[in-house]
Amino acid sequence: MSTRADVVIIGCGEAGVFASYELTKRCPQLKVIVLEQGADIYSRTCPIVQGKVDHCIGCKTCGTMSGFGGAGAFSDGKFNFTTAFGGWLTDYMTETEVMDLIHYVDSVNVRFGATDKVYSTTTPEALALEREALKYDLHLLQAKCKHLGTENNLRILANIYEYLKDKVDFRFHTAVEKIEVLPEGGYRLVTRGEDFDCGYLVAAPGRSGAEWFADQCKGLGIPLINNQVDIGVRVELPAKVFQHITDVVYESKLIYRTKQYGDQVRTFCMNPYGHVVAENVEGIVTVNGHSYSDPALQSENTNFALLVSNRFSTPFNEPYRYGKHVASLSNMLAGGVLVQRFGDLVGGRRTNDHRMSKSFVQPTLKAAVPGDLSLSLPKRHLDDIIEMIYALDKLAPGTANYDTLLYGAEVKFYSSRIQLTNELETPMTGFFAIGDGAGTTRGLAQAGASGIKVAQVITERMANKS
């Protein structure tokens, strides 16, 4: 016996949430079921955040990566108004359409409590910063940005959940084991508890379900395109070092091409006065960063990622697993996240508890274990990162200080992209793929936009049939 729905959505991260919102808004009579392996927004917990443990214990379902709101729920809530980064939706739509969708997503967030404050990129200070960066061959990607804040991001999602919970049939703690094609048309989602049938299927698996989704697509014969994997470290230093930058643009994305190898290194996820955190990606502990709007919750440090982009050619076709393997080396050495002072790394010395105790910069991630990044990250990546830090030191003096902290590994997995139409539909009629886990987006703004787009397509098709 199976449960029938008009639309089934796999996953309720940012993409799945906004698909649900738009479907019910445009067509309230639709029966929409959302299958999510994690918990609702109120029940998502992490033993580290609760203070029960000081390190990741590998929960079967990670409370920070899965559940209502997805991995973005516990992010610091940066919402970027741009198509220059944050996804690849312009591969399927015009830039104008994508930006219209992004602004629409923002309007929904504002309805449920998001701030109106926007960091502009056209101020004289922002333009001067861009020119200054160019002196050192650093290229500043600028975009209007809202900082929702980790605590406000959760509040906004809770408000959206309250709005949706009586309109959508959410099935939490329900992991989909298999996607099947029904002989009469439509799809069946097989879970341990029951099966779900639908005419329209929207896959929004999120980052934690990306590898599972790629396997499902292979089984269904849907072609996959390898995406990149970014590997690097999270940098933590006194907030004053980057204050003249973050006060102007907040989210500064700086790109540098190394002289030694010609590799691209970039800053990512800048968190002024933030905290470094650990997260569990399918059993592998990686590092990330949060930043709160409330001054009472802020630290004295700023953190950001330095990532080296990797694209692989044939015959290699598993960049996702390669990234997990690199991250697993840090786990093997440290039992989780590893931290090292920049001066120790450059000097070829392992950071230990004694050396860390003398550091002027104290780690906000107390569970990080002092160690040696050169034993876990490839030499080429470390050479690139060291060169980038010296370049950043020219724009933000103090970046290359001895006590600057480097946490590893930080890995950004870009899910294998699948063949999609301009409507984000797979080669199988009525089967759509959206969000970060489907490899079409990389961030809150475009993930939400992809959900809105697919909901519009589905409801328009249903209207045309009636």
Mean pLDDT across 167-179:
97
Residue 54: predicted pLDDT: 59
- Flag whether pLDDT at 208 surpasses 70: yes
DSSP string, 127-155: HHHHHHHHTTT-EEE--EEEE--HHHHHH
- Flag whether pLDDT at 226 surpasses 70: no
Residue 48: pLDDT band by 50, 70, 90 thresholds?
Answer: low
Phi, psi at 260, each rounded to 5°: -70, -45
Mean pLDDT across 132-159:
88
Dihedral sign from CA coordinates of 67, 69, 74, 80? positive
Mean pLDDT across 247-271:
91
Cβ atoms of 279 and 150 closer than 8 Å: no
Rounded CA separation 389/23 (Å): 46
Higher-pLDDT residue of 56, 341: 341
- Flag whether pLDDT at 341 surpasses 80: yes
Residue 154: predicted pLDDT: 87
Residue 62: pLDDT band by 50, 70, 90 thresholds?
Answer: confident
Residue 294: pLDDT band by 50, 70, 90 thresholds?
Answer: confident
- Flag whether pLDDT at 60 surpasses 80: no
Owner of token pair 């931290």: 339
Rounded CA separation 328/284 (Å): 6
Kind and range of the H or E run holding 310: strand 301-310
Residue 230: predicted pLDDT: 86
DSSP state of 419: -
Residue 151: pLDDT band by 50, 70, 90 thresholds?
Answer: confident
Q: How many C-beta neighbours within 10 Å does residue 457 have?
A: 18
Average pLDDT, the chain: 90
- Flag whether pLDDT at 313 surpasses 80: no
Higher-pLDDT residue of 327, 265: 265
Extended beta strands in 217-263, E state: 224-225, 229-238, 253-257
pLDDT tens digits, residue range 105-145?
Answer: 999 999 999 989 887 777 888 889 999 999 999 999 877 88
Owner of token pair 């949430």: 17
Mean pLDDT across 202-206:
94
Tokens of 344: 């120790």
Rounded CA separation 306/322 (Å): 18
- Flag whether pLDDT at 196 surpasses 90: yes
- Flag whether pLDDT at 331 surpasses 70: yes
Tokens of 64: 């920070």
Residue 193: predicted pLDDT: 87
φ/ψ bin of 316: left (φ > 0), alpha (ψ from -120 to 50), beta (otherwise): beta
